[in-house]
Amino acid sequence: MNLKISNEVKQALESGKAVVALESTIISHGMPYPQNVETALRVEQEVRAHGAVPATIAIIGGVPTVGCSKEEIECLGKAGLTATKVSRRDMPIVVAKGLNGATTVAGTMILAEKAGIKIFATGGIGGVHRGAEKTMDISADLEELQTTDVTVVCAGAKSILDLNLTMEYLETKGVAVIGYGTDELPAFFTRKSGIKVGYRMDTPNEIARALYAKTDMGLKGGMLITNPIPEEYSMDASVINQAIDKAIAEAEEKGIKGKDITPFLLDKIQKITGGNSLNSNIELVLNNARLAAQIAVELSQIGG
């Protein structure tokens, strides 16, 4: 594969320094411009502030790129929804056509693994959509977690999803779900869902040791670290759930499906909540980047 790795990321990997992968769909499809670019750069700064090197991942001009420049991040931010959203199935087409593409959780995991990056921070993973028993709408993120050796730090699955079915799916696929300082699956905009996670761990070192043990045992696939949004930025559950219900109802009326559904719902929820959901989204991403960097540093120190 013609994989472009920035000099900073390449040097960090060669020297055994901690590196954290970052996705680019959150830039193009997760937030409006210019907050998307501002947030992406703040997330990179947060990773650096905690001792690791950030590697924002995307496809630029048909070239899978690990460690995007500020100019490339700006380009994706301005492109917004017109940028191609790239999961596993889309990757060869976007590369062959020489397009710019923003990688989803699944797409980012694939390129992170190929570059040798073991820790990835995002906002929330995709999962089993509401009504999936009829539509079969299940995110490719879940399949990728089963097969790709990258640990994902997130604020849980996006609360627009069916969280119970998402957890059942992950359990069926043998993916370890760890709650950082919690026994409950975070619900993205809120800290609690009422759904138990597989394990609770309370320090980055404890998580790093589990990741090291997984690799040492030769076990394939990723692990999911769920990190609750900070209390001060958590939204009222009734408010956000009402907004989600309204957004889903409008999506159904307009026939919006597939990979278009998540960006539509996030944008609609942001408008319904007067921008409060966007603020919460930004803060939870920064919080995840912070934890991912801490885990990556601990893992590098124990030789993982």
Instruction: Kindly name the residue from 158, 214, 259, 268 that is annotated as catalytic.
Output: 158
Instruction: Kindly name the residue from 23, 46, 72, 144 that is annotated as catalytic.
Output: 23
Tokens of 3: 């994989």
CB 96 within 8 A of CB 17: no
The dihedral built from the CA positions of residue 200, 202, 206 and 211, taken in this order, carries a sign that is: positive
H-run or E-run covering 298? helix 276-301
Q: Which amino acid is at 161?
A: L
| Distance in angstroms (rounded) separating the CA atoms of residues 213 and 189 | 31
- The SS3 of residue 171 is helix
Pairing label, strands 151-154, 119-121: parallel
Give the torsion through C-alpha atoms of 156, 233, 118, 63, to 10 deg: 100
DSSP 49-90: HTT-EEEEEEEETTEEEES--HHHHHHHHHHGGGSEEE-GGG
Q: Which amino acid is at 195?
A: I
CB 228 within 8 A of CB 186: yes
Task: Indicate the angle between helix axes 35-49 and 276-301, nearest 10 degrees.
Answer: 30
Which backbone phi and psi does 199 adopt, to 5 degrees? -145, 155
158 flagged as catalytic: yes
CB 139 within 8 A of CB 125: yes
118 flagged as catalytic: no
Residues designated catalytic: 23, 158
